[in-house]
């Protein structure tokens, strides 16, 4: 159990570090005005139209760093700071979210697969909320591993979803950067392109550590089952 605790602590510290670094990078690039003067909304609309997408709306949503693409109602949702801002950070994030819209339009396999299993993962996530702790108590006091086993399987599905998300996020960033690199009317200097690339790289790292955190949690709970069989 000691190794499991150490692994979870190490991943938690790594996650904290990456999140802090991403937020500091976002703040830094949010203060750098885009030479083209385009807002996040305008960048998003340009990228959508350049990819032949006219049925997706760009809207503003509450919160900070709440930007996302919703495939159900075909909307690129940008947080207020990104929607209105005319900074390097807002352009990079807006383009990234439009990358998901392009994936949707082109039926990108990983996005299609991830969207298809969302209902299953949501159910699995709900199951883990009550099976893991109850399962451990039943295992300790009665030796019954069934409930914990169900929780571990459900957690494994949630963990797999975290890793399936990685190619979706990296591909969206790659699509965003490729479009930005070919549109000097949006980003007009090589420095702006490098800054956008750096911002998106740190954003992607938050998904990587989230996946590793999910894996560490899975290993921790699975170790209870493994140790019970050895005993």
pLDDT of residue 102: 98
For residues 144-166, give the mean pLDDT: 95
**By percentage, how much of the chain surpasses pLDDT 70?**
97
Label residue 225 by pLDDT band (50, 70, 90).
confident
pLDDT of residue 30: 92
Label residue 194 by pLDDT band (50, 70, 90).
very high
Q: Is 62 helix (H, G, I), strand (E, B) or coil?
A: coil
pLDDT of residue 89: 94
Q: Is the Cβ–Cβ distance between 10 and 67 less than 8 Å?
A: no
Label residue 3 by pLDDT band (50, 70, 90).
low
Query: Among this protein's residues, is 169 annotated catalytic?
Result: no
Dihedral sign, Cα of residue 146, residue 152, residue 154, residue 156:
negative
pLDDT beyond 60 at 231? no
pLDDT beyond 70 at 56? yes
Label residue 213 by pLDDT band (50, 70, 90).
very high
Of these residues, 42, 97, 192, 195, which one is catalytic?
97
pLDDT of residue 6: 79
Q: Is the Cβ–Cβ distance between 202 and 25 less than 8 Å?
A: yes
pLDDT beyond 60 at 184? yes
Euclidean distance between CA atoms 40 and 56, whole angstroms = 15
Euclidean distance between CA atoms 185 and 86, whole angstroms = 13
Contacts of 54 (CB under 8 A, 6+ apart): 48
pLDDT of residue 190: 87
For residues 68-75, give the mean pLDDT: 94
pLDDT beyond 80 at 227? no
Its domain, for residue 186, covers 2-230
Total count of domains within the chain = 1
Contacts of 141 (CB under 8 A, 6+ apart): none
């Amino acid at each position: 159990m000691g190794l499991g605790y150490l692994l979870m602590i190490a991943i938690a510290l790594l996650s904290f570090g990456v999140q802090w670094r991403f937020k500091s990078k976002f703040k830094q690039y949010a203060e750098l005005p885009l030479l083209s003067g385009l807002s996040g909304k305008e960048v998003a609309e340009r990228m959508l139209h350049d990819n032949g997408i006219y049925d997706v709306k760009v809207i503003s949503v509450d919160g900070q760093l709440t930007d996302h693409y919703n495939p159900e109602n075909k909307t690129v949702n940008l947080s207020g700071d990104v929607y209105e801002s005319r900074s390097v950070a807002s352009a990079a994030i807006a383009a990234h979210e439009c990358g998901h819209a392009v994936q949707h339009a082109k039926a990108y396999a990983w996005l299609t697969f991830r969207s298809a299993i969302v209902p299953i993962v949501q159910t699995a996530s709900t199951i883990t909320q009550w099976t893991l702790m109850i399962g451990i108590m039943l295992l300790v006091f009665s030796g019954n591993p069934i409930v914990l086993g169900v929780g571990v399987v459900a957690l494994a599905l949630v963990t797999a979803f975290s890793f399936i998300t990685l190619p979706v996020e990296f591909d969206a960033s790659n699509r965003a950067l490729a479009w930005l690199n070919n549109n000097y009317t949006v980003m007009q200097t090589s420095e702006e392109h490098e800054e956008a690339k750096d911002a998106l790289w740190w954003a992607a790292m938050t998904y990587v550590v989230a996946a590793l955190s999910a894996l560490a949690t899975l290993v921790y709970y699975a170790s209870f089952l493994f140790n019970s069989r050895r005993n």
